[in-house]
Amino acid sequence: MDFKTVMQELEALSKERTKKIYISNGAHEPLFGVATGAMKPIAKKIKLNQRLAEELYATGNYDAMYFAGIIADPKAMNESDFDRWIDGAYFYMLADYVVAVTLSESDLAQDVADKWISSGDELRMSAGWSCYCWLLGNRQDNEFSESKISNMLDIVKDSIHDAPERTKSAMNNFLNTVGISYLPLHEKAVATAKEIGTVEVKRDKKKSSLLNAFESIEKESKRGRLGFKRKYVRC
């Protein structure tokens, strides 16, 4: 399936209601408004195709960029490719759910995510923290340095309340993920979350979100979800 055919198929799946939802979350034209689940049949036909993924991502069309993440081959991408993708990610749904997800399936994931976390750029930091959420929620605990993840918890504790808004949200998700999916530091994550308390995330033209990782971890714990790992990261 070539670039033109994919764009035509995506456009045919567009829904005005879906488009409005994406725009309300920060997407802008060009976009069609395609539900992510509706993309699966096209993705099954293509499987992985990095060349096509690059063509689609370069369009700046939100739906094409999202689909690019589904068919990308992360192991064929180098650090400059991921940097180029994060440069093109103009809002959090692309940064956290396309670029960070794709990066998490690469062997470069932790190195690149570490650089983004220390970059000082809101969406890069958000993608870096989000990448660790995808990693910790999928890979085995022994693939991580416990001291490194512990140090990251300390960074969250010391800086989350003063971080940029989208970074706050991703840091909170990281805290949740460590507490639920990374058993060696479950207790430290719970203690850290308790100390941090409620985190306010301000949103443009919308009511602020109030996030409380301690309550979220406790809730999942009661549901017997400790140690949960996703089988797949990408849909």
Residues 6+ apart with CB under 8 A from 23: 31
Amino acid 205: pLDDT: 77
Q: Is the pTM of this model over 0.75?
A: yes
Residues 6+ apart with CB under 8 A from 147: none
Query: What is the arithmetic mean of pLDDT over 73-99?
Result: 98
Output the average pLDDT for the chain.
97
Q: Are 64 and 7 in contact (CB under 8 A)?
A: yes
pLDDT digits (tens, 9 = 90+) for 216-232: 999 999 999 999 999 88
pLDDT digits (tens, 9 = 90+) for 101-125: 999 999 999 999 999 999 999 999 9
| CA angle 76–80–84, rounded 5-degree value | 100
| Cis omega (within 30 of 0) for bond into 41 | no
Amino acid 92: pLDDT: 96
